Structure 1
Amino acid sequence: MTQQVPVQRLALRGDLLDFMSTPAWGAEDDAAVRFRPDHWLLIENGRIVGAQPEDPDPSWQREDHAGRMILPGFIDTHVHCPQLDVIASYGSELLDWLNRYTFPAERRYADPAVAQAGAERFLDALLAHGTTSAVVFPTVHKGSAEALFESARARGMRLVAGKVLMDRHAPDGLRDDVAQAERDCIDLISRFHGKDRLAYAVTVRFAPTSTPEQLAMAGALCKADPTLYMQTHVAENRAEVEWVAKLFPHARSYLDVYAREGLLHPRAVLAHGIWLDEADRRVLAETGAQVAFCPSSNLFLGSGLFDWPAARQAGFRVSAASDVGGGTSLSMQRTLADGYKVQALNGQRLSAWVALHAATRGAAEALGLGAEIGSFDVGSVADVCVWDWAQGPVAQVRDALARTPHERVFAWLTLSDERNLRAAYVAGQARVVA
């Protein structure tokens, strides 16, 4: 006799905010925005089944967050697990920063105990900042990817990750070789890709740290299984771009190094993309690849200013990413507030709607996961976060004086951070309760 599993019904009350489509650039009043003040979000067996203003019947477990905002969990499309250990490191541009801080930190993850503790600390920190899904770099060590996948599985999180590929221009203890790296990738793919809420990304650190042979191997993996993701860095820093040009003289551009090996496709996530030209932007649009915009990191390392309107005009997707530890916080609010500043320096104004969309529904759709995460659509997995509109007297007065939904949300985006988080749910299960 089959035992019946009881239905789990959870109703969350608050001001519901998500998106039905892509907001227009610069629009403050936009039909893409779905803002439902003082509604109940209905969750059944870990999935969203509806929303309503009326109180649900007594069969629902109710959690009343009236006067708070409820958002889909944030999606961070580019972040480094081991670099949490070197966040806020002083005084370097990209290439020097890698050698002085990042590579020594990553080398420690050869120790399985360090990798396990680091993965757990990192994922708990993501949740504490309202991020419920992420595209993550571990290290070159197979064990670091295993620890990350297993820790995400234990928390029920949506995670995209993969063992980092680096077979040159890296210190001892951080290099692999093509044959062993391929074996490691194939084993990890068989064990984790498509299992629970996990997915594998062929993870090229960046072009300079992979030989042409390793890039070809990575491209072959992608071609063999189009459901795999690919993640890497591109055109972040001028000195890096110049180095790539010397290492790959036959490539038209930095991006072309990846294109030649079949690494650009609809599941490719390329971080930064600052120093791209029009031809590169066309290739991104044609291949369906996305750029993960990392404003905090770009400002902190002095890398440059990403041109988001040019990306929109070219027609490729842009998602939002913290890039910790080049970025200085896992908070997507702080990251997006820095994104506003980057665009302002380019003479543009980033609306709260475009910003939040890039960290929720927009990121999900760019990853091919729009039916699962990033919105309150019926059937979506209930990755949900509850936020205080304001913390402290300054923010509270600013919130009280806001005249429109956009003005209120923009003030929240600018003034809030992880201290505003009251609860985080992953597939309807409470993972953070303040």
Structure 2
Amino acid sequence: MMRTRPLKVALLGCGVVGSEVARIMTTHSEDLAARIGAPVELAGVAVRRAGRVREGIAPELITTDAAALVAREDIDVVVEVIGGIEPARALITSAFEHGASVVTANKALLAEDGSALHEAAEKHGVDLYYEAAVAAAIPLVRPLRESLAGDTVNRVLGIVNGTTNFILDRMDSTGAGYSEALDEATALGYAEADPTADVEGFDAAAKAAILAGIAFHTRVRLDDVHREGITEVTAADIASARRMGCTVKLLAICERAADGRSVTARVHPAMIPLTHPLASVREAYNAVFVEAEAAGRLMFYGPGAGGSPTASAVLGDLVAACRNKLSGSRGPGESAYAQLPVSPMGEVVTRYHISLDVADKPGVLAQCATVFAEHGVSIDTVRQQGKGGEASLVVVTHRAPDAALSATVEALRNLDTVRGVASIMRVEGE
């Protein structure tokens, strides 16, 4: 039997995602009610400016007083899609205090203060859902929290930012430089007017923190994630990767140490072989590999941004939160029992692709090779090409601690025969 009193939902934010959430709630109200077991009613929509006409939303639902809306005693679930740290944190906390569950897409807040939010939700006996915070419509959070809850996840590797993937894909497929590719991404709506969060890796790092925390049952904050963006990637880097049979992607990599005693989380551009499935992820799509002991290697692929895909994930969480309200139960909370230490980037074992501008004279290669040997870094391949009085020396290393590789690069910079370090990039995915 369906309950007749509707569950009431407060929506915070009515931009690209929020307006799509409201549209789906209205146009699919009967289906949602059938799936939940009770009608779901949009009880209020908090916006910054109330003067705009918002198609499909009754004017009387619009308010600029978000604090009053989440404090209403009749609100069952609050959907937060305004983003940022404040006032989102205060509004979510108030919703918990007034007995409402929360569905959010706020990756920045979760990466910054997720543990405190989980504790507040548990204290007040309500839910905190955030599938949309990581990869929009791609089911990733729920499989990690629930489907793989009985397994041991060792690695999460993937492309979790569509803007940077579009830019790098354009650089690879058309030969465009970084600035040209960014301009195209902006014109097509893939990049914001201020693309810093995307191109400097902040967006991907927040998602990596969330994924690592869930995968390894450990509290991982944004500050724990090593972060590098794509602004220094050049057309020469792309061409060099192609000569190696590779392409360049911005990767989020979360790993459990071989001995199981620590974890790492990092975001940086890397060369990956063209044979790797991630190499074929084009345009603004996302794809993530999860490697678990029993389940093996799982791949999740799809659109990682946009109003409709993100709204799909929000509505999925809304259905779950409403079902729990009806049954008087709660969904999974934070699982941080392992609380493994997060190792610094220097302890990560990886490979480097190093391009050097050197003097074109005998002994230079031997001199550089000695520097690698002194730092315990083994060379895999070397390619040297002369150009007048200078030469280009490209070295690909075997796996070594990142600290040793960084120290090697600094020592190379100090050689008289090295005119400059043209580029440094890690090699992954093998």
- TM bracket (short chain): under 0.3
TM-score by length of 2: 0.26
Give 1 or 2 for the bigger CA radius of gyration: 2
TM-score by length of 1: 0.26
Greater relative contact order, per chain length (Cα 8 Å cut-off, separation 6+): 1
